[in-house]
Amino acid sequence: MNKKRRIALAAGIAPLLVVALPAGPASAHGYVSSPPSRQAQCAAGTVSCGPIKWEPQSVEGPKGLRSCSGGNSQFADLDDDSKGWKVTPVGSTQTFTWRFTARHATSNWQYFANGTKVAEISGGGQQPPAEVSHTVNFGGLKGKQKILAVWNIADTSNAFYACIDVNIG
């Protein structure tokens, strides 16, 4: 192969390599869409919020946190219990749906009711589909509860957080 031809080939391949690279900064991840989580309510304009309204899927923080904001000060709105979050009436069990904009391999999903773990579902280290639903049994809990849903990523030290305000009837 002569030199000219080799250069032409390299030039032809380069754009393909760019396209094949994984999506750039991890700016897209996931959140609980139903019942509407606090960040979903921000995104929908149900409650007026700061920058979380533009990226409800981005509440990412180290694993093991128990806050609605995942420790992100720019999303502190989510930790404010007095913002008038819409409370969803539920029964003794309720299905929660996650919407993923980046389908990270999953260690597990956990659900906490006012700090007590009520459910844990394994993700088997696999990539989830674009939407995943879990039916959570609240046991004997009644009344207003702040549910913290956690998505623990398998291949990083991070997790995603979403709080959902419910009233268990």
Give me the residues that bind Cu ion (CB under 5 A), please: 26, 29, 102
Give the phi and the psi of residue 83 in degrees, each rounded to 5: -85, 0
Burial of 169 (0-12, 13-18, 19+ CB in 10 A): exposed
The separation between CA 86 and the C-alpha centre of its own chain, rounded to angstroms, equals: 19
Shortest Cβ 77–Cu ion spacing (Å)? 21
The smaller minimum CB distance to Cu ion, of residues 159 and 164, is found at 159
Shortest Cβ 3–Cu ion spacing (Å)? 43
The smaller minimum CB distance to Cu ion, of residues 104 and 165, is found at 104
The smaller minimum CB distance to Cu ion, of residues 29 and 38, is found at 29
Angle at 46 between CA 143 and CA 70, to 5 degrees: 70
Fill in the DSSP letter of residue 67: S
The smaller minimum CB distance to Cu ion, of residues 65 and 102, is found at 102
Shortest Cβ 158–Cu ion spacing (Å)? 8
Give me the amino acid identity at 137: N
Q: Which residue is nearest to Cu ion (CB)?
A: 29
| Cβ atoms < 10 Å from Cβ of 12 | 9
Shortest Cβ 135–Cu ion spacing (Å)? 25
The smaller minimum CB distance to Cu ion, of residues 12 and 25, is found at 25
User: Which of 87, 125, 110 minimizes the C-alpha distance to 161?
Assistant: 110
Shortest Cβ 119–Cu ion spacing (Å)? 23
User: Which of 147, 74, 95 minimizes the C-alpha distance to 117?
Assistant: 147
Peptide bond into 35 cis (omega under 30): yes
